[in-house]
Structure 1
Amino acid sequence: MEGFVLLQVLQNRFYSRFRHMGHQQVKIFISPNIDLETKAKMDVVCGGLSKQEPATPEIQKICDKIKWQVEKKTGNKFPTYTAEFYRMQVVAGTNYYIKVYVGLEDHLHLKVFEELPCNGGQLELTSLQENIYHHAPIEPF
């Protein structure tokens, strides 16, 4: 029942932003990598970015799953690899913009795309930025 209540909260937030469009029914796709409580706390706007939030264990799991892609793209091995902050963008799937601490005051910004579950739900590193300072905000790239 708790999952239903959280989903209803999320649906109400989404509907309140788009009710002027006259839609009677709102469908929301929930990522298997993010729990319902995290989704319900997000300020979700389809196509828009959420506000920057501290990374959750679920965001760290996403980072861990694509770490090999990050290391391949940068040509570096990262013994320290900790998600610190993130933003989300709901599109035909989900874009995650994640700030990752990689040691020695250095950070990466990752853009990770997660397909909808009906399309396989795969994670893909679509872009990254290197040599990011800790206080640099996460912006779309």
Structure 2
Amino acid sequence: MMTGGLSDAEAATPEVQQIVSQVKPQFESKENKNCAMFKAIEYKTQLVAGVNYFIKVQVSDTDYVHLKVFQSLPHENQGPSLVAFQTGKTRDDPLTYF
């Protein structure tokens, strides 16, 4: 994958679910709601000075959100941070850059 370009969508892995779990409190704080469900479905990555993850997350039986999460380089010893998100998504909405 070229630096800056988005990868193809892939099924979420345990690693991606761990990232989603780590940024869940950031999302809940910004949205001012608690999510009983917060399951990573699929993701794309973008290589920058670290990695941007674009992740489709299921938050209820029919509701989805798209998260943009930045993971810095390993030597920086920082956890993932929620950069942006889009609500009101469906299972079929494609992940795109935002």
- The two structures have a TM-score, normalised by structure 1, of 0.67
One-letter code of the match for 1:113? F
- Richer in helix (by share): 1
* Map 1:1-141 → 2, pairs under 5 A: 44-141=1-98
Tell me the number of residue pairs that the alignment of Structure 1 and Structure 2 aligns: 98
Structure-1 separation of matches of 2:31 and 2:77: 26
Q: Determine what percentage of the aligned residue pairs are the same residue.
A: 40
Which range moves more in the overlay, 97-106 or 112-121?
Answer: 112-121
- The two structures have a TM-score, normalised by structure 2, of 0.96
Structure-1 separation of matches of 2:61 and 2:13: 22
Q: CA RMSD in A?
A: 0.9
1:120 deviates by 2.2
Structure-2 separation of matches of 1:121 and 1:89: 18
List per-residue Cα deviations over 1:45-89 (Å, max 9, x = no partner).
Answer: 211110001101110000001110010011110001100000000
- Structure 1 segments, 4+ long, off by >6 Å, are none
Secondary structure of 1:59's counterpart equals helix
One-letter code of the match for 2:28? E
Give the aligned partner of residue 8 of structure 1.
Answer: none
- Richer in strand (by share): 2
Secondary structure of 1:108's counterpart equals strand
